Amino acid sequence: MSLLLGQTVPDFTQDSTQGPISFHDWIGDSWCVLFSHPADFTPVCTTELGAVAALKDEWEKRNVKVIALSVDPVNEHNAWVSDIEETQGTGVWYPMLADQDHKVADLYGMIHPDAAANVTVRSVFVIDPDKKLRLSLTYPPATGRNFREILRAIDSLQLTDSHKVATPADWQDGDDVIIVPSLKDEDEIARRFPKGYKAVRPYLRVTPQPNKS
């Protein structure tokens, strides 16, 4: 199955290191990052799970729940958690789904045709509180994911959901943003962006981030 941005993500119930999880209910009113791994006890993913755990305050600040997945069973996940905590110096406080029957992997297209049948690719799915897919990424096995980039993208998604702006290349929270081209009414622009804007081109209007003082 190929998931498209804006679609409602599939619901499922699956076992995890924190007991059975009914996915949509578990997300609740939060944002969610679901990220998959080829297998337990793999080196790159060990560092990734530690990196995600170390960012606990950052996920919570953005109302984001995180959840990992591989096709290994819960008992192997629990053994791996001990390795992660020892080698990465942080507790794994979020659940890890055990997808032995490939139910979730098949629903979310995590097993590619040229990969081994029991190896999930290293995907990331960012899901909003309406259970809509807002961003997806797939990485090759040897390249570790940058979860601060995932946080940056979530900052952009949350900002652009609440204001009529877009974020430019390499934007970081607090940087200037772009007024969306569809906003034409100058009175509305003045009301929404009281700090004013710079028109680099008629279609490229730069303004200070509106939710920052």
- Condensed to tens digits (0 to 9), the pLDDT of residues 130-161 reads 999 999 999 988 899 999 999 999 999 999 99
Q: Which class in CATH covers the domain with range 13-144? A: alpha beta
Spatial separation of the C-alpha atoms in residues 94 and 186, rounded to whole Å: 46
Under a CB-based contact definition with an 8 Å cutoff, are residues 38 and 45 in contact? yes
Domain boundaries, the chain: 13-144, 163-207
Q: For 159, list phi and psi in degrees, rounded to 5.
A: -65, -45
CB atoms within 10 A of CB 36: 25
- The arithmetic mean of pLDDT across residues 160-186, rounded, is 97
pLDDT of residue 88: 96
Rounded to 10 degrees, what is the CA torsion of 127, 133, 134, 139?
A: 90
Please identify which residue in the block is written with the tokens 């995932």: 150
Classified as helix, coil or strand, 45 is: helix
* Residue-wise pLDDT tens digits, 7-25: 999 999 999 999 999 999 9
Catalytic positions: 45
pLDDT in tens, 76-89: 999 999 999 999 99
Alpha helices (H) in the chain, listed in sequence order: 23-27, 43-54, 56-61, 74-88, 103-107, 147-162, 186-192
pLDDT of 117: 54
pLDDT at 142: 84
The rounded mean pLDDT for the chain is 93
Most confident of 2-6, 40-44, 140-144, 202-206: 202-206
Percent of the chain at pLDDT > 70 equals 95
Enter the tokens of residue 119: 């190896």
Model confidence at 33: pLDDT above 70 = yes
